[in-house]
Amino acid sequence: MEVKEITVVGAGVMGHGIAEVLALSGYRVNLLDSFEEALKKGEEQIRKSMERLVKSGKLDGEKMRASLGNMSFGSDMESMVSSADLVIEAVPEKLDLKTKVFSDLDKFCRKGTILASNTSNIRITDIARATSRPDKVVGLHFFNPPVLMNLVEVIKSRDTSDDTFNTALEIVKRVGKTPVRVLKDTAGFVVNRISAPEGLMFCLVLDNRMAKPEEVDAFAKGQGLPMGPYELMDYVGIDTVVHSLEYYAKELSPDYGKCRIYGEMVEKGLLGAKTGKGFYDWSSGKAAMPKADPTDKVQLMDVLALEVNEAVKVLEEGISTPEEVETGYRLGMNRPFGPITVAKGLTNAEIKRKLEELQKKFNVDVFAPAQSIKEGKLKEIITKGNVAKEEAKSAKTQPVEETVSGELVKIEKVDEKVRRILIDNTRNNLISSQVISELEAAIKELWNDREVNVIIVTGKGERFSAGAQLSEFIAGGLDFTESSRRGERVFRMLSEIPKITIAEIKGYALGGGFELALGCDIRVSTDEAQIGFPELKRGLLPGWGGSQRLSKLVGMSRALYYILTTEYMTGREANEIGLVSRLFPKESVDEETIRFASDLARRVSPPAAALAKRLINKGSEISMDNGLEMESIAMGLLYGTDDLKEGISAFLEKRDPEFKGK
């Protein structure tokens, strides 16, 4: 529906801020509040805010006058909402108050009017029950201050119609904000839901006298955060925090009722900036924070693990998508990254271990690992959201949560530390432009996955790859050149990725398939596999790196022989000349390769392996002096790593090392 006139109910900080944003975007806006003093103050704040924008050059004076001219202020609900197309409620965060407002709005608004709530925590479904039009009720959660913050959560209740939801999304876009879709109604929605566990933790830190507020805030600011947790709670309002925790205790977990100190502060009237004093003195307009050394009782990993854990729960419940969870948290918390980015940089085991530690330390089940983390499926859930689980229910073969797939190239999780890139294109696993694109995407996906130490590359079934798909149309010589360059770059990524890559050769590894195998660090094969370059018989030459890599691996004489004669070698012959490192029986090559990769993934330190392969590959291209210099620098980089300490300890204690990749 077309929205021209909007009424905002509540002239407080959020209400008058939302009204200003709407007016500046060209809407006719009515600001309604039953308290004349609040209404007058809201109007004054809007004018002052616009004047500051004009002074800073962000707003034209004429537009300011036009925007103010489009605004009306009043205290009579019936007259202020009777012609509105949309009404946004922005009253205090109390369910009984909000339901009373919505019940009244339902009486006075036209039947087609959309009713929205700016609630930051309360389920929209609960609010909508007070009306006879639940399909016309939606959540529009602006963040404070609305004029500056770019995020708006758009919440779909159990009954919200698609038309209502889409209209709300379009309004958010029109006012220049970024909408994040909340597709399933839940307490706290996305941003506040994800930050709720850490809010509880910071309360328990004070309850247990582990540290002082200023010590924790000093630690937080030392990590690059614009505000510490207690300064932020003061800014938002301690009463708001308490109301949220009480609501979460009822809706999410009774654990949220374990917090004591926030409630005690509310009883004493210490609400933060709004009363001039909370954790800090705000009489000067900003927090007067005592000087303090950063505490060592709270770690950054504590906060990050709790955020990742709750984000995983949000994804498991189908509340939003991984992309929108990341965007929402980044914008809502004013950070350069969100929990999905954090999760990609940590291993499932690291996060699980930290969460179990926090659960035991604070005796809080909310801190326990989410189901996907318990099952070791963190990477799957942050990539696919709950879609992977839904698809897995109807899958007849390997569960989708175990495989991240392109159409022709799949990533399979075959071990906690090992992934297999599987080519599945015709029975010969031919390499096409699509395979190259999907292979590139697969390598990029695994590049920064710290959970993965070893990657196996192979073909589905009994063949590695019989080469390029020559039936593809290529327009001319320049396009053919670019096709060659693209394949070279993608195959080279296998030698540059900071993981050990293993080519599992079976059946045929011909032409482009052979070149793919040459791009890997290690090659294993079956005895009878057929390996070679037939290109010269087709009027071509090895054009995806084969003419350069083969000579470096087996010498110029052998490379010339196999390329110029187009003769094939068997897997056993390749092993005899050092091109293949291990031979496995044909009937068990898949299992043997996985066993080899799993052993390797646990036996060697990931940082050491990444630096070693880089030194070997780059060292062949430079002088001995430069190579030795690079080697000494690499040794310095490894000195002091946790893996080095673990490796030496394991050697002295005569046990197998447990490397963490640090």
Domain final residue pick, 127, 154, 182: 182
CA distance 316 to 382: 9
Residue 579 is encoded by which pair of tokens? 């091109």
Q: Are residues 202 and 279 in the same domain?
A: yes
pLDDT at 474: 61
pLDDT at 395: 29
Q: Are residues 587 and 613 in the same domain?
A: no
Q: How confident is the model at residue 404 (pLDDT cuts 50, 70, 90)?
A: low
> Average pLDDT of 29-40?
95
Is 223 within a domain?
yes
243 is catalytic: no
pLDDT at 618: 85
pLDDT over 50 (residue 397):
no
Is 657 within a domain?
no
Mean pLDDT of the chain: 91
pLDDT over 60 (residue 387):
no
Tell me which residue of 404, 375, 380, 378 sits closest to 304, measured CA to CA. Answer: 378
> Average pLDDT of 48-63?
93
**Which amino acid would we find at residue 460?**
K
**Which amino acid would we find at residue 263?**
G
Domain count along the chain: 5
75 is catalytic: no
Q: pLDDT tens, 341-355?
A: 899 888 899 999 999
Q: pLDDT tens, 322-377?
A: 999 999 999 999 888 899 989 988 889 999 999 999 999 999 999 999 999 999 99
CA distance 468 to 510: 9
Q: Are residues 496 and 623 in the same domain?
A: no
Strand partners, 138: 116
Is 392 within a domain?
no
Q: How confident is the model at residue 570 (pLDDT cuts 50, 70, 90)?
A: very high
CA contacts within 13 A on the Cβ side of 477: 0
CA quadruple 169, 171, 175, 181: dihedral, nearest 10? -10
Q: How confident is the model at residue 65 (pLDDT cuts 50, 70, 90)?
A: very high
pLDDT over 60 (residue 633):
yes
Residue 192 is encoded by which pair of tokens? 């506040």
**Which amino acid would we find at residue 455?**
I
Work out the angle at residue 269's Cα, subtended by the Cα atoms of residues 268 and 272, and round it to the nearest 5 degrees. Answer: 120
Q: Are residues 294 and 216 in the same domain?
A: yes
CA contacts within 13 A on the Cβ side of 20: 28
Domain final residue pick, 553, 583, 598: 598
Is 398 within a domain?
no
CA distance 346 to 550: 36
Q: pLDDT tens, 459-503?
A: 999 999 999 887 665 657 887 788 888 989 999 999 999 999 999
Q: Which of 153, 215, 445, 504 is catalytic?
A: 153
Q: Are residues 171 and 203 in the same domain?
A: no
Tell me which residue of 364, 370, 366 sits closest to 348, measured CA to CA. Answer: 370
Q: Are residues 54 and 166 in the same domain?
A: yes
Q: Which of 30, 157, 192, 429 is catalytic?
A: 192
pLDDT at 392: 33
Domain final residue pick, 131, 151, 182: 182
Strand partners, 194: none
Q: Are residues 335 and 417 in the same domain?
A: no
Q: Evaluate whether 215 touches 294 at the Cβ level (below 8 Å).
A: yes
Is 388 within a domain?
no
Q: Are residues 239 and 371 in the same domain?
A: no
The DSSP result for 306-347, as a single string, is: HHHHHHHHHHHTTSS-HHHHHHHHHHHTT-S--HHHHHHTS-
CA contacts within 13 A on the Cβ side of 164: 25
Q: Which helix (H) or strand (E) holds 163?
A: helix 162-174
Q: How confident is the model at residue 41 (pLDDT cuts 50, 70, 90)?
A: very high
Is 327 within a domain?
yes
Q: Are residues 571 and 632 in the same domain?
A: no
Is 390 within a domain?
no
- Distant-in-sequence, close-in-space partners of 570: CB < 8 Å, separation ≥ 6: 527, 528, 529, 530, 531
Q: Are residues 410 and 547 in the same domain?
A: yes
Distances (CA, A) of 267 to 230, 236, 239, 249, 264: 17, 17, 9, 19, 5
CA distance 326 to 331: 9
Residue 389 is encoded by which pair of tokens? 């689980």
394 is catalytic: no
CATH number at residue 620: 1.10.12.10
**pTM (two decimals):** 0.68
Tell me which residue of 141, 83, 127 sits closest to 108, measured CA to CA. Answer: 83
pLDDT over 60 (residue 557):
yes
120 is catalytic: yes
Distances (CA, A) of 601 to 167, 492, 495: 51, 21, 17
CATH number at residue 22: 3.40.50.720
Is 120 within a domain?
yes
Work out the angle at residue 404's Cα, subtended by the Cα atoms of residues 401 and 408, and round it to the nearest 5 degrees. Answer: 135
Q: Are residues 51 and 178 in the same domain?
A: yes
Q: How confident is the model at residue 152 (pLDDT cuts 50, 70, 90)?
A: very high
Parent domain of 241: 191-298
pLDDT over 60 (residue 57):
yes
CATH number at residue 347: 1.10.1040.10
Q: Are residues 167 and 195 in the same domain?
A: no
> Average pLDDT of 102-129?
96
Over the Cα atoms of the chain, what is R_g? 31
Residue 249 is encoded by which pair of tokens? 């205790």
Q: Which of 67, 118, 120, 432 is catalytic?
A: 120
Query: How is residue 277 annotated by DSSP?
Result: B
